[in-house]
């Protein structure tokens, strides 16, 4: 497949994703996809990965997030595969992208990921970076508000030993999510580039929490 053919596929994928996610929750909308897509390309430029698979995987990684589809973990990979098949994309690329979509999400501290590839490593780092820092904080509270969660409740402690199923069903205050996911991401980055980018965002979240607790207690 030539470079020009690849660009046509990417362009059509952009149009498809924008249309599919036009009414999505603000933390999982087209702008989230665009940020992950842009960051994925930047990381891939420093790492060894197939450019087309990185672009398609990044664009389709949240095409049908299970938490917005009654917990169905097959709908995302299936939607991605069907779309790419309709475009006549090579079956090996379709299968790889499907596996990326199926395996990209954080599923709790105790969940062990079974599929790995350089392309998934890149996209997963980009997706995790978007869950960190200022944007990650905004996304966390936006989603918490979307599903009606408390901001913080000091009587409800974070659960650091959740199974995958417990993580999927969790409805604790949004601040608990920092300890159950967001602050864990720095040490779960795959690529050297991703690890460097994660340091600053992790530090920002730590500073944010210090300020949050200070204000909560009326000290600042």
Q: What pLDDT digit, counting tens, does each position of 123-142 carry?
A: 999 999 999 999 999 999 99
Q: Alpha helix locations (H) across 87-191?
A: 91-103, 118-129, 133-146, 164-169, 174-180
Domain that holds residue 44: 3-216
Give residue for tokens 């702008």.
31
- Give the CA diameter of the chain: 61
Q: Burial-class residue 185 by CB neighbours within 10 Å (0-12, 13-18, 19+).
A: buried
The pair of three-digit structure tokens given for residue 141, joined into one six-digit string: 């509270």
The pair of three-digit structure tokens given for residue 54, joined into one six-digit string: 């990185």
According to the model, what pLDDT value does residue 75 have?
A: 87
State the average pLDDT over residues 164-182. Answer: 84
Give dist(CA 50, CA 17) in Å, integer.
Answer: 21
Q: How many domains does the chain have?
A: 1
Specify the range with the lowest mean pLDDT, choosing from 110-114, 115-119, 207-211. Answer: 110-114
* ∠ Cα 149 107 147 (to 5°): 20
Helix axes 3-20, 51-60, angle to 10 degrees: 10
Could you tell me the CATH number of the domain that includes residue 115?
Answer: 1.10.3210.50
Name the pTM for this structure.
Answer: 0.90
> Is the model's pLDDT at 150 over the cut of 70?
yes
């Amino acid at each position: 497949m030539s470079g020009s053919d690849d660009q046509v596929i990417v362009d059509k994928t952009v149009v498809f994703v924008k249309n599919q996610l036009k009414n999505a929750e603000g933390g999982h909308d087209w702008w989230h996809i665009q940020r992950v897509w842009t960051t994925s390309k930047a990381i891939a430029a420093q790492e060894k990965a197939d450019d087309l698979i990185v672009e398609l995987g990044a664009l389709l990684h949240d095409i049908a997030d299970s938490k917005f589809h009654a917990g169905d973990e097959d709908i995302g990979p299936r939607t991605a595969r069907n779309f790419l098949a309709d475009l006549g994309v090579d079956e090996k690329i379709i299968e790889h992208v499907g596996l990326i979509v199926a395996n990209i999400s954080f599923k709790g501290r105790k969940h062990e990921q079974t599929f790995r590839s350089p392309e998934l490593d890149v996209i997963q780092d980009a997706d995790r970076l978007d869950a960190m820092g200022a944007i990650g904080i905004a996304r966390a509270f936006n989603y918490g508000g979307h599903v009606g969660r408390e901001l913080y409740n000091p009587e409800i402690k974070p659960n650091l030993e959740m199974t995958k199923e417990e993580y999927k069903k969790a409805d604790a205050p949004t601040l608990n999510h920092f300890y159950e996911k967001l602050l864990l991401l720095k040490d779960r980055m795959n690529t050297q580039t991703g690890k460097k980018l994660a340091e600053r965002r992790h530090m920002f979240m730590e500073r944010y929490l210090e300020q949050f607790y200070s204000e909560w207690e009326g000290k600042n």
